[in-house]
Chain A
Amino acid sequence: MIQFQGVTKIYNNGVTALQNINIEIEKGEFAFLVGPSGAGKSTFMKLIIRKEFPTSGQVLVGHKNIAKMKAGEVSLLRRNVGFIFQDFKLLPHKTVFENVSFALEVIEASKREINRQVPAVLELVGLKDKANIFPSELSGGEQQRVSLARAIVNRPHLLLADEPTGNLDPETSWGLMDLLLEINKRGTTVIMSTHNKNIVDKLRRRVIALDGGRMVRDEQKGGYGFED
């Protein structure tokens, strides 16, 4: 599903974020991306949705070279990739329902589809009763679940989670992990970057470790492996 072939990314300010990365992630996998801050995890994700271009090498998503995509294809690519962030990125003046339906409205989905999909996905993340309140009235864990609902509401093949538990307490984090595992079980590929040693060590999934822009480890059923 995703292939990095000799990918190097050097930003305009001269910082080398990734160096010669070769990796393949299959459809349906659940992979952790670990490493210290500045290791290149965020850049790795940004390359997948073509928020950034590789300086050299190739990034293929669904056998398509992201560097050669036209603007329209990039939009289509992103409709197939859900994204959640450490800081949730919810719109404060929209309700929970509107935050989720927003993702469908801006790709011109029909009213029928919105009315079918949004309640279903809110039920999945356990926020059906809170559809009409604003993000500021929710706890951090709930906000992250809204953001997750928005990411999966148009049924993407791939879910990218950039330190999704970074702002959550351990218990809430596990609640979110259960949802991510459930979504993965339903066939969505999940890539999650994290500093959460506890979660990585317990779940024993594929672990891709980056350090200083280089890939230092890639093991199936791996552990976190870095000192906290």
Chain B
Amino acid sequence: MKIKTFWYFTKEASTGLVRNGLMTLTAVITITLALIILGSFYIVVTNVNHFTEMAKGVLEIRVYLKEGADAVSLQNRMLAFDGVKEVKFVSKTEAANWLGKTLGINELRNYLATDNPLPDMINIKLEDNVELKELTARLESLPGIDEVEYGKDFVESMLLVIQVIWIIGISLIAIVGLVVLYIIVNTIRLTVFARRKEIEIMKLVGATDWFIRWPFMLEGIMLGLSGAILATILISKGYHLLIAYVKELAPFIPLLGEHMINSGLFWLVTLVGLAFGAIGSLMSIKKFLKV
């Protein structure tokens, strides 16, 4: 593309935006709002993921052994599994001592010392990125294992929460996407309509379709980009305030730092803004190119 042509495109696109002043403003505001919804969703997902990962790190799996199982070789095999960080053998005597001490009942202590019904146990500390279900299944398939226990309820409810968030998020994005597309298509259509005679003549004298499309594409891209920049600024300001607020009121909630969010947020919002800007303008001009 010649530089002169590029300037021509930019000039045409800006003219279109200025001429539709109020509509342009409305479009930018709507797109900004829509992208803020998208960006906030991104922050929620990132934080929930982060929280789940963290929770997994604190989690332990307890593996109860059958009577007479070979604890040493089992420990070695477990260490080789993906996601296993540390293993610790807890003998049934240790378990009984701990239990007796914790409960503080002497009769129980004596009883456990003579006739111990507790099993031997291996405690497993997990890596952060562990696949719990898979690991549990592998552990259960080892010989001499009686039962594998982990914070199942907690993990499963977390997984459910994540699933629900995703479903809400995807529907949200779909709705937001349609709204943004609708706004952009209609804004650009105003320009296209104002220029339909020019477009007709351009087609007749042999301008290529892309030459005709570019100014409108740029116009859509400028709309999307303005919305994206505004949305990014507003969300990161908002998140900044939220972090400060949470630190004050509920310091135990582990929110991700801004620096962990900002670049992902920026790219997501910008790319979505750009993509919808471009697609929207292509859609509005399509009909007018069939000449």
| A contact residues vs B (CB 8 Å cutoff) | 49, 51, 71-72, 75-80, 83, 89, 91, 102-103, 105-108, 111, 150, 154
Contact = CB atoms under 8 A, between A and B. Distances in A.
B201 A102 contact: yes
Interface string B190-216: 000000011011111111110110000
Interface of B: 2, 4-5, 8, 197-198, 200-209, 211-212, 291
Given A51-B291, A71-B208, A72-B208, A89 B197 contact: yes
B204 A107 contact: no
Q: Give the 10 A-B CB pairs with smallest separation, nearest first.
A: A79-B206, A78-B206, A106-B207, A103-B205, A75-B206, A75-B208, A106-B202, A83-B204, A107-B206, A71-B209
A28 B204 CA distance: 21
A89 B201 contact: yes
Nearest to A92: B197
Contact of A78 (B5, B203, B211): B203
23 contacts: A51-B291, A71-B209, A75-B209, A76-B206, A78-B205, A78-B206, A80-B206, A83-B205, A89-B200, A89-B201, A102-B198, A103-B205, A105-B8, A106-B202, A106-B211, A106-B212, A107-B207, A108-B2, A108-B4, A108-B5, A108-B211, A111-B4, A150-B205
A80 B203 CA distance: 13
Contacts of A51: 291
A150 B201 CA distance: 10
Contacts of B202: 106
A101 to B, nearest CB: 11
B87 to A, nearest CB: 66
B133 to A, nearest CB: 53
Nearest to B202: A106
Contacts, number: 48
In the complex, which of the residues B8, B200, B208 has the most CB atoms of chain A within 10 Å of its own CB atom? B208
Given A89-B200, A89-B201, A102-B201, A77 B208 contact: no
Contacts of B291: 51
A102 B195 CA distance: 13
A78 B2 contact: no
Contacts of A108: 2, 4-5, 211
In the complex, which of the residues A106, A107, A108 has the most CB atoms of chain B within 10 Å of its own CB atom? A106
Contacts of A76: 206
Contacts of B211: 106-108
A91 B206 CA distance: 17
Nearest to A49: B204
Contacts of A102: 198, 201, 205
A20 B200 CA distance: 29
Contact of B205 (A71, A72, A107, A111): A107
A128 B204 CA distance: 24
Contact of B198 (A75, A91, A154): A91
A150 B208 CA distance: 17
Contacts of A77: 206
A79 B205 CA distance: 5
B149 to A, nearest CB: 66
Nearest to A83: B204
Nearest to B198: A91
B3 to A, nearest CB: 11
Contacts of B212: 106
Given A91-B197, A91-B198, A105-B8, A75 B207 contact: yes
In the complex, which of the residues B8, B205, B211 has the most CB atoms of chain A within 10 Å of its own CB atom? B205
A51 B201 CA distance: 12
B6 to A, nearest CB: 11
Nearest to B291: A51
A89 B61 CA distance: 79
Contacts of B204: 49, 78, 83
In the complex, which of the residues B2, B201, B203, B206 has the most CB atoms of chain A within 10 Å of its own CB atom? B206
Given A89-B197, A91-B197, A91-B198, A106 B205 contact: yes
Contacts of A71: 208-209
A118 B60 CA distance: 83
A151 to B, nearest CB: 8
Contacts of B200: 89
A76 B203 CA distance: 11
